[in-house]
């Protein structure tokens, strides 16, 4: 049995036309998700690199059904879903391409936010509770604060209400980096017995320090709290050192915290005492040289 759901991206007052999805019922989605044929011919046949978090979603079902098709609106911007490029606990990441008319309008409003070829990364987050909603809102707020070439900018976003097993869905639009993360690159280079040159390692390290300095110099200062190879995007340039961009501000919080009780002091001590800040950066530097690291090692 199939049901129709009407989903409008963006704010309530947006003039963008709604997206109408002809989606399978939750029972049918669950059956398809676990069926052997889907594992062989669907998502299991694609190489999906985990970068940012989620589980099943209407958009994912649409993508599977249409083999990469499907149009979405984020506020007044119109995109076509090309393919999925990542997934994790509570989010999917899609490669999307903006329709020409929408791209021209966006370029006129925000020239610095426009992609040359119209492609972007769209992160979709499923929100099942008020706590998750608050966390997503905080990630959006913090991601919108910074303007630095070594920090991934948030270009647009929308939070919508939906019917189903979750209450809301958030859509975050970012520039796309097809060369992957430092962790992705390190694993490939390790298999080929290749290494970054010392100059390239130091340049990556320098860019991360510059981005973090920008966060630490903010008023109030912010700590990223999740620096790891899997959160460092790398862009290769012929004849030049790679560009490094720090992403994922879901754990970023003000670096100055007022301690009001003994329990708060103990909680903070347990969280941070084993990993002084300088160790995080030295860990990235060391791991970039010998590639002996886990994707989950972080600040």
Domain co-membership, 88 together with 193: no
Would you say 78 and 98 are in contact if contact means Cβ atoms under 8 Å apart? yes
User: Would you state the pLDDT for residue 1?
Assistant: 41
Q: Please write the tens of the pLDDT for every residue from 75-103.
A: 989 999 999 998 877 899 999 999 887 77
Domain co-membership, 87 together with 233: no
Alpha helices in the chain (DSSP H): 26-34, 36-41, 58-66, 100-109, 130-143, 182-191, 198-216, 262-272, 277-290
Which of helix, strand or coil describes residue 140? Answer: helix
User: Would you state the pLDDT for residue 283?
Assistant: 59
Residue 139 to residue 172: CA distance in whole angstroms = 10
Domain co-membership, 151 together with 91: yes
Domain co-membership, 43 together with 162: yes
Residue 235 in any domain: the answer is yes
User: Would you state the pLDDT for residue 69?
Assistant: 65
Domain co-membership, 189 together with 44: no
Residue 70 to residue 59: CA distance in whole angstroms = 8
Residue 236 in any domain: the answer is yes
Mean pLDDT of the chain: 73
Last residue of a domain, one of 158, 174, 190: 174
Q: Residue 163's pLDDT band (boundaries 50, 70, 90)?
A: confident
Output the CA–CA distances (angstroms, integers) from residue 69 to 62, 161, 205, 263, in the order listed: 8, 23, 39, 51
| Pairwise pLDDT comparison (233 vs 62), residue with the higher score | 233
Residue 296 in any domain: the answer is no
Residue 299 in any domain: the answer is no
Mean pLDDT of 6-25: 38
CATH number of the CATH domain containing 251: 1.10.510.10
Residue 167 to residue 159: CA distance in whole angstroms = 10
Domain co-membership, 19 together with 140: yes
Domain co-membership, 163 together with 259: no
Q: What angle do CA 110, 114, 120 make, to 5 degrees?
A: 130
User: Would you state the pLDDT for residue 109?
Assistant: 64
Domain co-membership, 40 together with 167: yes
Residue 86 to residue 98: CA distance in whole angstroms = 19
| Pairwise pLDDT comparison (118 vs 55), residue with the higher score | 118
CATH number of the CATH domain containing 134: 3.30.200.20
Last residue of a domain, one of 151, 174, 197: 174
* Domain containing residue 232: 182-290
Q: Residue 116's pLDDT band (boundaries 50, 70, 90)?
A: confident
User: Would you state the pLDDT for residue 287?
Assistant: 59
Q: Please write the tens of the pLDDT for every residue from 18-40.
A: 333 333 444 444 444 444 333 32
Q: Residue 261's pLDDT band (boundaries 50, 70, 90)?
A: confident
Q: Please write the tens of the pLDDT for every residue from 187-208.
A: 898 899 888 888 998 999 999 9
Looking at the predicted structure, is the pLDDT value of residue 108 above 90? no
| Pairwise pLDDT comparison (82 vs 1), residue with the higher score | 82
Residue 251 in any domain: the answer is yes
Output the CA–CA distances (angstroms, integers) from residue 169 to 85, 125, 252, 282, in the order listed: 18, 6, 21, 37
Looking at the predicted structure, is the pLDDT value of residue 278 above 60? no
Burial grade of 288 (CB within 10 A; 0-12, 13-18, 19 or more):
buried
Domain co-membership, 270 together with 169: no
Domain co-membership, 40 together with 62: yes
Q: Residue 212's pLDDT band (boundaries 50, 70, 90)?
A: very high
Residue 19 in any domain: the answer is yes
Domains held by the chain: number: 2
Domain co-membership, 33 together with 169: yes
Looking at the predicted structure, is the pLDDT value of residue 51 above 50? no
Residue 297 in any domain: the answer is no
Q: How many CB atoms lie within 10 A of CB 269?
A: 11
User: pTM (2 decimals)?
Assistant: 0.67
Domain co-membership, 145 together with 222: no
Last residue of a domain, one of 174, 191, 212: 174
Of the ranges 164-168, 231-235, 278-282, 283-287, which is most confident?
231-235
User: Would you state the pLDDT for residue 64?
Assistant: 43
């Amino acid at each position: 049995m199939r049901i129709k759901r009407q989903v409008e991206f963006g704010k309530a007052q947006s003039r963008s036309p709604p997206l109408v999805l002809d989606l399978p019922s939750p029972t049918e989605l669950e059956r398809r998700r676990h069926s052997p044929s889907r594992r062989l011919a669907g998502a299991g046949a694609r190489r999906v690199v985990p970068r940012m978090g989620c589980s099943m979603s209407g958009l994912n079902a649409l993508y599977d059904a249409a083999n990469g098709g499907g149009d979405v609106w984020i506020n007044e911007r119109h995109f076509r879903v090309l393919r999925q490029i990542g997934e994790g606990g509570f989010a999917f990441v899609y490669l999307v391409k903006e329709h020409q008319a929408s791209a021209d309008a966006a370029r006129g409003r925000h020239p610095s936010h426009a992609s040359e070829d119209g492609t972007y990364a769209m992160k979709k987050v499923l929100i099942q509770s008020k706590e998750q909603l608050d966390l997503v809102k905080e990630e959006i707020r913090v991601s919108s604060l910074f303007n630095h070439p070594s920090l991934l900018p948030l270009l647009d976003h929308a939070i919508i209400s939906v019917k189903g097993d979750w209450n809301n869905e958030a859509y975050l639009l970012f520039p796309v980096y097809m060369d992957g993360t430092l962790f992705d690159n390190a694993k490939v280079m390790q298999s080929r017995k290749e290494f970054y040159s010392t100059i390239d390692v130091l340049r990556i390290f320098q860019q991360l320090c510059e981005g973090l300095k920008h966060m630490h110099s903010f008023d109030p200062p912010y700590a990223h709290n999740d620096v790891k190879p899997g959160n460092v995007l790398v862009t290769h340039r012929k004849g030049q050192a790679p560009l490094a961009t720090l992403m994922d501000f879901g754990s970023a919080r003000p670096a100055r915290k007022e301690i009001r009780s003994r329990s708060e002091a103990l909680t903070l001590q347990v969280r941070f005492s084993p990993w002084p800040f300088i160790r995080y950066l030295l860990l990235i530097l060391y791991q970039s040289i010998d590639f002996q690291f886990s994707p989950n090692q972080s600040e």
